[in-house]
Structure 1
Amino acid sequence: MNVTSSGIQETTDQTCVKIGKSPISDFLMAIYILAFIFGLIFNVLTLRPIFLQVKQKNVLGIFLLCLSISDLLYIFTMPLWINYYHQDHEWKLGATSCSIAGFFYYSNMYISIYLLCCISVDRCLVVCYPLRFKTHRTSRYAWVQCAIVYIAVVTMHIIILIFDAHDDEKNQDRCYETYPMQKTVAMFNLSRVGLGFILPLIVLAVSYWKVLATVGQSPGLSAQAKRKVRLLSFGVIGIFSVCCAPYHILLLSRSLVYFKYNDPSPKGLYCQFEQNIHWSFSVTLALSTLNSVVDPVLYVLVSNTVRNKLNLCLRRGQQTPLDECALPAYKKGKPKENSFI
C-alpha cells in the first residue's frame, strides 16, 4: 500500500520515485475496465437469486449477499481508477475523492478475503460435521459474522482516511503513489500481510483440505459431485493466490526494505528499490481487483442448478416463479450433494 504522508522529508529536490507516461498505464486501465464491466454484470446477475436465498434464511446466501454488496460498492469506484490511469497517473479529482476511493478499494479487498474465509469454514462444517453444527448454523449466526467482518475491516482502514494519500507536490498529482512511505504505514502494511493474507490463506487451505478429505471418503457422492468439490476448492485457493499473493508479497518486500534501508534520498537503496518495482506493484494491485469478478463465479455459477435457474430468470417474456430463482439450500439432516457445492 502506498499510503504516505510528508512525515519523512527528502534530502534533495528530486522525487524518490519518478512516475512517467508508460504503455503499462494503458494495460492497467484495461484491467480495471474489464473488472468493472464483468464484475458489475456478474454481481448484478447473481444478486436476485442470492437475495431470494437470504429470504429463505440460508447461511451461505447471507455470506454471498454481504460479499456482493462489498464488491458492488468497490466496483462503483472503479471509474475513478480508470480515469486515473487514463490520465497517466494524474489524479485530478481532489484529495477527498482519492481517500474515499482508496478506502473502498482496500476495505473491499479484506472484506472479501475474510468473507471467503467465513464461507470456507462454513462449507467445512457442513461437509465434515453436518450433525454437530446444524443447530448453530442459523441466519443470525451468519449475520453476526458478516457484521464483525465489516466493522473490523472498516475500523482498521480508517487509517486510510487519516493519512494523506494524495500527493500534489513537486508538479505531481498522485493517489496512493507517494513516496517514501511513513514508518507507521510500513508497520500497518506488515500487519495487513500477516492478518489479511497469511492467516486467511492458512484458514482456506485447512478448510478445503478437510473438505477434500471428507468428500473423497464419502461413498454417497457421485463422481461428478466430487469433481465439482475439487474444482471449487482448488479454484478458491488458486484465485486467492493469483489475485492476492503477488500484491501482498511485494507489499511485504517494500515494507521490509523500508525498515532495512530507511534512506529517503532518491539515490538511496530504498528509493531505487521502489523505482524498480513500481510498475510490477501497480500490476499486482490491479490484479487484486479481479476478486470482484470471480467471487460470484466461484460460489454461485459453479453449480449447475444455479446456472439453470439463472437462465430461467433471464428468459425474455417468460414468467418465472421467484422461488425457482433461489439457490439450493442446505437442509438439516443427512447432507446431500448440493450441500457440498
Structure 2
Amino acid sequence: MSVTASMESSPSKGVTAEPDYDIGEIHNWTELLNFFNHTLSECHVELSESTKRVVLFVLYLAIFVVGLVENLLVICVNWRHSGRAGLLSLYILNMAIADLGIVLSLPVWMLEVTLDYTWLWGSFSCRFAHYFYFANMYSSIFFLVCLSIDRYITLTNASPSWQRHQHRVRRAVCAGVWVLSAIIPLPEVAHMQLVESSEPMCLFMAPFETFSTWALVVTLSATILGFLLPFALIAVFNVLTACRLRRAARPEGRRHCLLMCAYITVFAICWLPYHTTLLLLTLYGTHISLHCYLVHLLYFFFDVIDCFSMLHCVINPILYNFLSPSFRGRLLSAVVHYLPKVQAGAGRRASSSSSSTQHSIVITKEGAQPITAGPHHHPSLDFQAPSTSPISTAQSLTSS
C-alpha cells in the first residue's frame, strides 16, 4: 500500500513517488520519509515538476480571483434580496458561502505548491486548513443535492402543508447540511500531522499498523459521500424535473432541460477524474496492480486534477445565478442602489427616465413574485435559464 496514495486524499500534496517495500517495516519518521521519497525502479518517466508547479500556481490564482468575485457578488445579491427572492435562493446562498470558503483556502495550497509542498504555518494550521477546505467542499456538494431535490418537490408538491412549512424546512435542512459537513472530515483531519524533517510537511499520518485500512476507509468514504451518492441524487432529480417540464409543454422547457443536463455534466466533469484517480492510487499496491508508467502519470497529474476539481467554485455561480434573468435583474438593482445619488435638474431626470423605468420593471418583477405557487405554475422555480424578457415576465407576474 502506498502512503503517498492515501496522502493524496487531501489538498496537501506530498512527494509523488511510489515505494516498493512493506509499510510494516517502517518504525520511525525518518524511515517513513525515506518511504515517501523512494522512487519506482521498474520504469522512468521524464516529467517536469517545475513546469507543473508553475501551471498549478496559475490555475490556483485564476480560480481564486474569478471565484472570489463571482461568489461575493452572489452572496451580496442574494443576501440583500433574501426576503423577496425565489424559494430556492436559500440553498444557492449557502452554496455560494461554501464555495467562497473553498476559494479563500486556495492561497494556502497555492503557496504550498510553490514551496515544493513545504508547510510553513505550524501544526494547528495544518489540521485547520484541511478541515476548513473539506467542510466547505462537502457543504457545497450537499447544497447542490438539496437544490436538485427541493426544486423537484416544489414543482410537483402543491399540498397546503408544504406551502406553509417549506421555508422552515429549508432552514432546518441548511443547518443540518452544515453540521453534517463539519462532522464528515473529522476522521481524516484527526490524522493530519506536521512532520518535521529537512523541510516540514503536512501529511496524512495514520498508525503504521493500520495505515492501509485507514487510507482505504477515508478514500471510500470521500468517494461515496462526496461523489457517488450526490451524483446519483443530482442526476435522478434533475432528470425527473426535466421530464416533468417536458410533459407540461412549457415555452422554455427545452432550455431548462438543457440547463439541468449541464448541472449533471459539470458535476461529473469536475469530480469524476479526481475520485477515479484517488481511488486508483489508494487501491494500488494492496488491492490492484497498475503499470508503472500509469502510476507515474497518476501521481504526477493528481495535483492538477485536484486543482481542476475546484473549478466548480467558478462554474456554480454562472450556472445557478448569472444565467438567471431574475438574478441579473437583482444584480442590476443592487448596482443602481449603491450608485451615488446626485441631485439633478428636471432635464437630467427626464433624460434618464427610460433607464429608471427599466429598473422599476425589474423591481416589479421581484415584488410581484408570489410566495406560494399552484401545481401548474411555479414562477418561484428559478431554473437559471434564459427565458422571456424582463418586461414580459414582469407583466405576466403582475397580471397573475
Choose which of 134, 145, 160 in structure 1 pairs with 2:188.
Answer: 160
User: Larger relative contact order (C-alpha < 8 A, sep ≥ 6)?
Assistant: 1
Q: CA deviation at 1:248?
A: 0.9
Q: CA deviation at 1:309?
A: 2.7
SS at match of 1:247: helix
Instruction: Look at both structures and tell me which one has the larger radius of gyration over its CA atoms.
Output: 2
In structure 1, C-alpha distance between the alignment counterparts of 2:196 and 2:274, rounded to whole Å: 25
SS at match of 1:54: coil
The root-mean-square deviation of aligned C-alpha atoms, in Å, is 3.4
Q: CA deviation at 1:329?
A: 6.6
Distance change >3 Å, CA 61–CA 210, structure 1 → 2? same
Choose which of 306, 309, 326 in structure 2 pairs with 1:285.
Answer: 306
In structure 2, C-alpha distance between the alignment counterparts of 1:174 and 1:329, rounded to whole Å: 55
1:235 aligns with 2:262: yes
Choose which of 112, 123, 127 in structure 2 pairs with 1:84.
Answer: 112
In structure 2, C-alpha distance between the alignment counterparts of 1:172 and 1:136, rounded to whole Å: 59
CA deviation map 1:193-233 (0-9, x unaligned): 122211111111110111111111113x21xx224312321
Choose which of 170, 193, 198 in structure 1 pairs with 2:223.
Answer: 193
Q: CA deviation at 1:121?
A: 0.4
In structure 1, C-alpha distance between the alignment counterparts of 2:264 and 2:72, rounded to whole Å: 24
Distance change >3 Å, CA 121–CA 271, structure 1 → 2? same
Choose which of 325, 343, 363 in structure 2 pairs with 1:304.
Answer: 325
Partner residue in 2 for 1:16? 36
SS at match of 2:381: helix
Q: Give 1:332's aligned amino acid.
A: A
Q: CA deviation at 1:93?
A: 1.7
Partner residue in 2 for 1:212? 242
SS at match of 1:166: strand
Q: Which moved more, 1:132-141 or 1:35-44?
A: 132-141
SS at match of 1:76: helix
Distance change >3 Å, CA 126–CA 16, structure 1 → 2? same
In structure 2, C-alpha distance between the alignment counterparts of 1:150 and 1:260, rounded to whole Å: 34
Give ranges in structure 1 of 5+ residues lacking alignment.
262-267
In structure 2, C-alpha distance between the alignment counterparts of 1:239 and 1:98, rounded to whole Å: 30
| TM-score of the superposed pair, with normalisation by structure 1 | 0.83
Partner residue in 1 for 2:174? 146
Percent identical across equivalent pairs?
22
Distance change >3 Å, CA 9–CA 127, structure 1 → 2? farther
In structure 2, C-alpha distance between the alignment counterparts of 1:150 and 1:192, rounded to whole Å: 17
Distance change >3 Å, CA 303–CA 9, structure 1 → 2? farther
- Paired residue total: 329
Partner residue in 2 for 1:93? 121
| TM-score of the superposed pair, with normalisation by structure 2 | 0.72
In structure 2, C-alpha distance between the alignment counterparts of 1:271 and 1:166, rounded to whole Å: 29
Q: CA deviation at 1:245?
A: 1.0
SS at match of 2:219: helix
State whether residues 127 and 340 of structure 1, in contact with CA within 8 Å, keep that contact through their aligned partners in structure 2.
Answer: no
Partner residue in 2 for 1:34? 62
Give ranges in structure 2 of 5+ residues lacking alignment.
1-5, 11-22, 40-47, 343-358, 384-400
In structure 2, C-alpha distance between the alignment counterparts of 1:131 and 1:114, rounded to whole Å: 25
State whether residues 120 and 204 of structure 1, in contact with CA within 8 Å, keep that contact through their aligned partners in structure 2.
Answer: yes
In structure 1, C-alpha distance between the alignment counterparts of 2:287 and 2:279, rounded to whole Å: 12
